[in-house]
Amino acid sequence: MWMDHDEFMPLVKKVWDQNSGGCPMYQLCCKLRKLKQELKLFNMAHFSNISDRVKDAKNEMDKVQQALHTAHENPILCMRERDAVHKYASTVRAEESFFKQKARIQWLSLGDQNTSYFHKSVNGRQNRNKLLSLTTEDGEVVEGHEAVKSEVIAYFHRVLGVDQK
């Protein structure tokens, strides 16, 4: 979520370019400590209460779009609407990234300790990746493991020009 923000890389570069005396390991520790402080401030400024920020951005976008609906020729409202849509889209992406990371952390912490959770998660992933049926080029639906397997092999033989034996 931070990496997608326009100010993230310049912030890291600014902190990393600062000189500090001492041996290289000491310099690394100083830079990491300073970067940690700056990233905490960066997170608070741009991503704290991300769900509330999404709601606010949505309300602002809706408000501007309502005003634009009544005065659709106003160029200032058009610019405000474009900015509001951009802000809403970026905050939604940030919120989605936040929840993806949070879910991954929960899975990692529960994965080894809670074997039933772990197995349900693995089984769910395997079921999502199964190919249960296939529609052939002539529109016929093929079902069953062996039938799907032979149709996939036949398809690639036709595409790649390999003779079937």
pLDDT given for residue 49 in this prediction: 85
Average pLDDT over residues 104-121: 61
Helix, strand, coil shares, percent, the chain, to 5: 75, 5, 25
Task: List the chain domain ranges.
Answer: 1-48, 49-129, 132-160
Instruction: List pLDDT tens digits, range 13-45.
Output: 999 999 888 888 999 999 999 999 999 999 898
Average pLDDT over residues 56-77: 88
Could you tell me the pLDDT band of residue 58, with boundaries at 50, 70 and 90? very high
> How many whole angstroms separate alpha carbon 83 and alpha carbon 92?
14
Burial of residue 2 (CB within 10 Å: 0-12, 13-18, 19+) is: middle
pLDDT given for residue 110 in this prediction: 56
Q: What is the pTM of this model?
A: 0.50
